[in-house]
């Protein structure tokens, strides 16, 4: 049956994980993919290689500056509506794509922190909130200088030298977060402390908790090795150590999540 013909879920919660880049997004997406069936009774996962999300992410990468984002706005809005319709019958959905913010800052001549991201998130919110869904955007907040160093290591793999500091003049996340909050309805943007979530538990635990996944389910998940991690200590690992076993004690999980804006 076409998703357009399926009845809408009486209440719907949409959690959109935005990354950003270099905050363990690939590791989180591997976690979601490996446990899709186990998570499905509680939340439906939409991640990379989902055709609709991939089209949306590709448009976001192309709209790397405000003029190009404005030129692609109608197509992005249409793809956002198409994605929203495809899951309108699902009571809980977790979407994960760091590319929704745009390409990695510093790449393709992009200067600054995701210069057109707020326009895209406003369109996503409008698409999903059309039928009254509760929607939350999740941003993993990594210490800025640590994040900038990780971006530099990524840029160093390119064909010509690029200085992350020269391309990203910002000193912290505050200006970007202010732009995103201004574009979204009050309380729709939530930040998660990257260091806290990557430390005593496993990266992705706080996101699953926010999506409403039960502690018992989280404790039974298969946790893949961290992906694309140049420095294992970033995720609380020694270079030789295996990943730690997941904690079955959910007592502190909610402390990883910062309050929504305005709280």
Taken in order of first residue, the domains within the chain and their CATH numbers are 13-256 (3.40.50)
Token representation of residue 97: 């794509």
Distance CA 87, CA 3 (A): 7
pLDDT in tens, 139-191: 999 999 999 999 999 999 888 889 999 999 999 999 999 999 999 999 999 99
Contact (Cβ atoms closer than 8 angstroms) between residue 192 and residue 258:
yes
Token representation of residue 169: 């003049």
DSSP state of 87: T
In this structure, the number of other CB atoms found within 10 A of the CB of residue 197 comes to: 26
Map tokens 């745009």 to a residue. 102
The beta strand positions in 18-85, using DSSP E, are 44-46
- Cα Dmax for the chain: 53
- Tell whether the model's pLDDT for residue 110 goes beyond 90: no
Q: How far is CA 96 from CA 27, 31, 209, 239, in A?
A: 11, 11, 15, 27
Distance CA 106, CA 169 (A): 11
Secondary structure percentages of the chain, helix, strand, coil, to 5 = 45, 10, 45
- Tell whether the model's pLDDT for residue 261 goes beyond 80: no
Contact (Cβ atoms closer than 8 angstroms) between residue 198 and residue 235:
yes
Give percent of the chain with pLDDT exceeding 70: 81
Whole-structure pTM value: 0.84
């Amino acid at each position: 049956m076409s998703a357009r013909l399926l009845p809408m879920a009486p209440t719907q919660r949409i959690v959109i994980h935005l990354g950003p880049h270099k905050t363990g997004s690939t590791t989180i997406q591997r976690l979601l993919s490996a446990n899709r069936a186990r998570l499905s009774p509680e939340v439906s996962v939409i991640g990379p290689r989902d055709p609709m999300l991939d089209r949306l992410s590709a448009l976001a990468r192309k709209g790397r500056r405000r003029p190009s984002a404005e030129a692609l706005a109608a197509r992005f809005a249409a793809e956002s509506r198409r994605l929203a319709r495809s899951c309108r019958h699902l009571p809980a959905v977790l979407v994960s794509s760091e590319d929704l913010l745009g390409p990695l800052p510093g790449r393709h001549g992009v200067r600054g922190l995701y210069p057109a991201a707020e326009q895209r998130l406003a369109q996503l919110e409008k698409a999903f909130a059309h039928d009254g869904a509760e929607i939350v955007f999740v941003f993993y907040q990594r210490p800025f200088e640590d994040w900038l160093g990780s971006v530099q290591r990524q840029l160093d793999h390119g064909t010509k030298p690029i200085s992350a500091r020269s391309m990203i003049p910002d000193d912290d996340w505050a200006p970007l977060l202010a732009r995103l909050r201004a574009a979204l309805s009050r309380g729709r943007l939530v930040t998660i402390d990257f260091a806290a979530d990557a430390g005593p538990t496993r990266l992705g635990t706080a996101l699953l908790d926010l999506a409403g996944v039960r502690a018992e389910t989280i404790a039974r998940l298969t946790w893949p090795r961290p992906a694309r991690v140049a420095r294992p200590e970033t995720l609380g690992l020694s270079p030789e150590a295996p990943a730690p076993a997941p904690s079955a004690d959910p007592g502190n999980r909610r402390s990883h999540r910062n309050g929504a804006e305005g709280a």
